[in-house]
Amino acid sequence: MSGTGRAVFYHLTRSSLEETLLMILSRAGEAGWSVMVRGRDRAVMETLDARLWVAAGDDGFLPHGLEGGPQDADQPILLGTGALPAAARGLVLIDGAEASPQEARPLERVWVLFNGGDEGEVVAARGLWTRLTAGGLAAQYWTEESGRWAMKVEKAGSPA
C-alpha cells in the first residue's frame, strides 16, 4: 500500500450524507480502492447499509457489506465501527468517528464527512483536522456553501 496520507474534509450543509457518500464511494470504486466507512454506532451503520442499497438507484450498484460477516476482508466497501481492513486504501469517517495520523498516513485518502448543522460534529472535525495535520497529513477542506462543492483550504503534509 503506497498511500499519500491526504485527509479531505466535507462540510455538509446542502447535500445529504448518503449523496456525498455515493459520490465519494463511486469515485473510489472507479480508482479500484477498497474503502471502509467508519461510524461510531452499529445501529447507525445498519441504517446506512439499508439506505445505500436504495440510494444507488436502479442504474447503480454500490457493492458493500456490513462489518461482522465472513467476507469482511473481501468487501470493496465495508461499513463498520471497528478496525480498518488490511486491504483498505481509503477510510470515510462519519458521525464523529476517529482515525489517528498513524492509521491514516498509509492510506490513499481519508474523507471526513460532518454535518454543518451539528455544532458537536463541527468541533470534532476541527479537532481531527488539527490532529491529522499535526501528524503530517496533507488536508483539504471542502464546502458547498455556494451550491457546489469547492475547496476552501488546503494544507500541505509534512514529515511527522
**pLDDT (0 to 100) of residue 157:** 85
Q: Is residue 131 part of a domain?
A: yes
Percent of the chain with pLDDT over 90: 72
Percent of the chain with pLDDT over 70: 92
Q: Is residue 22 part of a domain?
A: yes
Q: Is residue 29 part of a domain?
A: yes
* Mean pLDDT over the full length of the chain: 90
Is the pLDDT score of 1 beyond 50? no
Q: Is residue 47 part of a domain?
A: yes
**pLDDT (0 to 100) of residue 56:** 64
Task: Pick the more confident residue, 145 or 94.
Answer: 94
Q: Is residue 1 part of a domain?
A: no
CATH code where residue 53 lies: 3.40.50.10110
Each residue's pLDDT tens digit, 95-153: 999 999 999 999 999 999 999 999 999 999 999 999 999 999 999 999 998 889 999 99
Q: Is residue 63 part of a domain?
A: yes
Q: Is residue 160 part of a domain?
A: no
Q: What share of the chain is helix, strand, coil (3-state, %, to 5)?
A: 30, 25, 45
Domain interval for residue 13:
6-155
**pLDDT (0 to 100) of residue 69:** 84
**CA angle in degrees (0–180, nearest 5) for 37-141-16:** 50
> Based on the number of CB atoms within 10 Å of its own CB, is 100 exposed (0-12), middle (13-18) or buried (19 or more)?
exposed
Each residue's pLDDT tens digit, 20-38: 999 999 999 999 999 999 9
Is the pLDDT score of 3 beyond 70? no
Q: Is residue 71 part of a domain?
A: yes
For the chain, the domain total comes to 1
